[in-house]
Amino acid sequence: MTQSVLKAAILGASGYTGAETVRLLRNHPKVEVVAATGNALAGKRLSEIFPHLSGAYDLDVVTSDDVRWDEVDVAFGCLPHGTSQDLIETLPSHVKVVDLSADYRFRDAKAYSAAYGREHLAPERTANAVYGLSELYAEKIAGADLVACPGCYPTAVLLVLLPLMNPLVIDTDTIIIDAKSGASGAGRGLKEGNLFCEVTEGVHAYGVGTHRHTPEIEQELRLMSGDNSVEVTFTPHLIPMARGEMVTCHLRGDADAIHAALVQAYKSQPFVSVLPLGSPPPDTRHVRGTNECRIGVFPDRASGRVIVFGVIDNLVKGSSGQAIQNLNLMMGWDQALGLDVLLPLFP
Ligand SMILES: NC(=O)C1=CN([C@@H]2O[C@H](COP(=O)(O)OP(=O)(O)OC[C@H]3O[C@@H](n4cnc5c(N)ncnc54)[C@H](OP(=O)(O)O)[C@@H]3O)[C@@H](O)[C@H]2O)C=CC1
Ligand SMILES: CC(=O)N[C@@H](CCC(=O)OP(=O)(O)O)C(=O)O
């Protein structure tokens, strides 16, 4: 690839993460979006589906069969799990892939099948894909051809927990994670559970004890700690807002040591900030529309536990923003390229 501008196809541009990737790439000086795909919505223009994108790339939404792949350098996979591998496995080998689905997150194809209920088409490819948690795996991401972006919950959870794993500064027997997400985390597809009346004016847990992000989180904690017995209790909740996600991690350890490990891990990172001890807890509105993860550490003197909060925007750091950060790393560019222009939308 010698040209100065990389040509990108957005697979699933008619969905939330696809549209957000298009919006963010409008600011990117080294990437041009040349193709946008959809399924049911193919045949429309992008601005018909998403009027807010009329000032971005107003492309025709086509099916992937109609993309001129010889003109594409990189594909962002913003497709449902399963559909993603079906399509990615057909792409010509010169196309780099940044996948936002779960299809290449598991090193072990059997673990993928157990969590997602289908056989993997390319067990070797998933075994060798790089897990795209940008801050922790930048060296592996650099030069990779296929990067699997973490799920939105695992992104926030692992940014909090991975720096505490090696050296270990918490008790790994008692990790409890309480998580909350806005409804855009479930995608734009029509689902009863996403109807306004099902979401507004209430909060409910879902996937209790069974959520598919639990094995993804445990895979990464086990790899980092070298301890295959690490388990977590992970409970997600749906809350009545469009975007934003908060994870509350209840840990056993020393608050000062936990805070110091997090500060050390992220001291040179542009997109993760660890608040000083004693600051007010972070709020999803402090990172809304940005690629930032903000972390706050609080000792609970009465219980001896430590409570660590992480907040992200699920559509930016939890998906499209991190995907672009990963492309930057893959290409050897500044990881913040095109992403550091964003200030939070508040309130
Ligand atoms: N939403 C979030 O916060 C996050 C999502 N992710 C992951 O990113 C991926 C995309 O999520 P999201 O954008 O929310 O999903 P959406 O449901 O909003 O969008 C899905 C996209 O995939 C297309 N699509 C669906 N079925 C097919 C098919 N059979 N063939 C071709 N295209 C198809 C849709 O096209 P059309 O609408 O035209 O039918 C649409 O463009 C998922 O794997 C999700 O888990 C990851 C992190 C966060
Ligand atoms: C609110 C909501 O429904 N959230 C989704 C998570 C979306 C996500 O980011 O994860 P994946 O990429 O693994 O789909 C869920 O709980 O399944």
Along the 347 residues of the chain, how does pLDDT read in single tens digits? Answer: 445 799 999 999 999 999 999 999 999 999 999 999 999 999 999 999 999 999 888 899 999 999 999 999 999 999 999 999 999 999 999 999 999 999 999 999 999 999 999 999 999 999 999 999 999 999 999 989 999 999 999 999 999 999 999 999 999 999 999 999 999 999 999 999 999 999 999 999 999 999 999 999 999 999 999 999 999 999 999 999 999 999 999 999 999 999 999 999 999 999 999 999 989 999 999 999 999 999 999 999 888 899 999 999 999 999 999 999 999 999 999 999 999 877 899 88
Phi-psi region of 43 (alpha: psi -120 to 50; beta: other; left: phi over 0): left
pLDDT of 2: 45
* Domain assignment of residue 180, given as a range: 153-314
pTM, 2 dp: 0.97
* Residue 137 lies inside a defined structural domain of this protein: no
User: Measured from the CB, is residue 185 less than 6 Å from ligand 1?
Assistant: yes
Cα of 16 from ligand 1 centre, angstroms: 7
> Could you tell me if 157 and 247 lie in one domain?
yes
- 293 catalytic residue (yes or no): no
> Could you tell me if 209 and 279 lie in one domain?
yes
User: Measured from the CB, is residue 80 less than 6 Å from ligand 1?
Assistant: yes
Helix or strand run (H / E) with residue 248: strand 245-252
Cα of 183 from ligand 2 centre, angstroms: 9
For the chain, report the end-to-end CA distance as a whole number of angstroms: 42
User: What residues line ligand 2, using a CB cutoff of 6 Å?
Assistant: 102, 151-152, 181, 185-186, 236, 238, 318
Number of domains present in the structure of the chain:
2
Phi-psi region of 304 (alpha: psi -120 to 50; beta: other; left: phi over 0): left
> Could you tell me if 252 and 178 lie in one domain?
yes
Q: Please state the ipTM of this predicted complex.
A: 0.98
> Could you tell me if 100 and 213 lie in one domain?
no
> Could you tell me if 97 and 215 lie in one domain?
no
* Residue 16 lies inside a defined structural domain of this protein: yes
User: Measured from the CB, is residue 315 less than 6 Å from ligand 1?
Assistant: yes
Of the residues 152, 197, 249, 293, only one is catalytic, namely 152
